[in-house]
């Protein structure tokens, strides 16, 4: 089994990817900002008798991003799977919000995804095997501020690469979860009490579906029957209706799925 690099791998969906892939025999490279938590998760994963490397890096910082790019591009340590999972939520409206925070979010959700994917792909293509899973969101289907816009970019970027890389043995999949039981909303200061229980997903289900779909070469992975149905409906909704739904979301981006 090859090595899997997972950004944001110490909590939520990223942690479930790390646990699942380690249990399947993959060596793991975890990327996150919290050194102490990285070591705690690494110790847990090592119980599967795999090699676990940690990289302390802030993906909103170009120097931190470069550290991960160098690791992905290292021909002496080939990477079989890249999971671009690092998250960033902004509970504010754009017009009167903090622009620097918006920029940091785009650096993590867009720039890092682009640059890390680019660092990993040449080696994967040369070896004729590999997978990139970009964690997007069903929020990309609606109008939910810059978070939705960033996730829409991730989805289209992944779809485009899926077409570009056809026949190379390398698969790229956009993973589009809905509301998922993780720390994401709490850490972003989002109030989620009004979201019905039937809307919530288990992170393990998201990961299992994503790994099945990337093996099948599917460009988009959606877990849960409720979100599979919504994804189908969203393709055919008139855009004025999509905008109307987005305008009713409390606090702009404050209830972003994922």
Domain boundaries, the chain: 3-247
Helix (H, G, I), strand (E, B) or coil at 232: helix
Q: How far is CA 220 from CA 75, 127, 134, 154, in A?
A: 29, 24, 10, 11
In CATH, the number for domain 3-247 is 3.40.50.720
Section 116-127 average pLDDT:
98
Which pLDDT value is given to residue 189? 47
State the pTM of this model.
0.87
Q: What is the tens place of the pLDDT at every residue in 74-113?
A: 999 999 999 999 988 777 888 888 899 999 999 999 999 9
Q: Percent helix, strand and coil across the chain, each rounded to 5?
A: 50, 15, 35
Q: Which residues are known catalytic residues?
A: 147
């Amino acid at each position: 089994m090859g090595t899997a690099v997972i950004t944001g791998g110490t909590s939520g969906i990223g942690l479930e990817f790390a646990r699942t892939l380690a249990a399947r025999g993959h060596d793991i490279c975890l990327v996150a900002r919290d050194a102490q938590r990285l070591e705690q998760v690494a110790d847990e994963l090592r119980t599967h008798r795999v090699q676990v490397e940690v990289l302390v890096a802030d993906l909103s910082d170009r120097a931190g991003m470069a550290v991960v790019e160098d690791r992905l591009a290292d021909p002496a340590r080939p990477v079989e799977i890249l999971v671009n999972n690092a998250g960033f939520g902004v509970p504010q409206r754009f017009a009167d919000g903090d622009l620097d925070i918006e920029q940091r979010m785009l650096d993590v959700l867009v720039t890092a995804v682009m640059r890390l994917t680019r660092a990993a792909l040449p080696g994967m293509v040369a070896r004729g095997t590999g997978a990139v899973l970009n964690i997007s969101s069903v929020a990309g289907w609606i109008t939910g501020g810059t978070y939705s816009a960033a996730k829409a970019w991730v989805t289209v970027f992944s779809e485009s690469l899926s077409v570009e890389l056809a026949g190379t043995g390398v698969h790229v999949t956009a993973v589009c979860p809905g509301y998922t039981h993780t720390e994401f909303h709490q850490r972003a200061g989002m109030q989620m009490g009004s979201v019905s229980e039937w809307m919530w997903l288990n992170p393990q289900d998201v990961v299992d579906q994503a790994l099945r779909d990337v093996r099948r070469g599917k460009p988009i992975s959606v877990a849960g029957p409720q979100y599979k149905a919504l994804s189908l409906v969203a393709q055919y909704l008139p855009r004025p209706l999509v905008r109307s739904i987005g305008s009713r979301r409390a606090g702009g981006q404050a209830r972003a799925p994922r």
